[in-house]
Amino acid sequence: MAKSKILVIEDERKIAEIVRIYLNSAGYQVSVASDGISGLAQTETFSPGLIILDLMLPEWCNSQVRSSKNKRTLVPQIGNNREIHRSYPN
């Protein structure tokens, strides 16, 4: 059976590495991108089933990843209300 693929988009290297290690040990195939641009490119080449997106990436990177034309991927986001509100302005 093929491993489920998870893409982690996180600009802090230590955090990305910890998340990668835990997900790999849980049996997932993980790819890490350090910014929104490379993360967006990896959605096409890696074809993840789930994206873990750092809400605190620079705003333009976050909005580009979220508004990607790749509508096959649903991106659940977890964060505190202030972070989510900042990422999704009215």
How many domains, in total, are found in the chain?
Answer: 1
Handedness of CA 89, 14, 34, 7 (dihedral sign): negative
Residue 27 has what pLDDT?
A: 95
Residue 59 has what pLDDT?
A: 54
Residue 52 has what pLDDT?
A: 87
Residue 17 has what pLDDT?
A: 96
* 52-67 pLDDT per residue, tens: 888 777 655 555 665 6
CATH number at residue 30: 3.40.50.2300
Structural domain including 37 reads 5-87
Q: Which stretches of the chain score pLDDT less than 70? A: 1, 58-90
79 burial (CB, 10 Å; 0-12 / 13-18 / 19+) is middle
Distance CA 20, CA 9 (A): 11
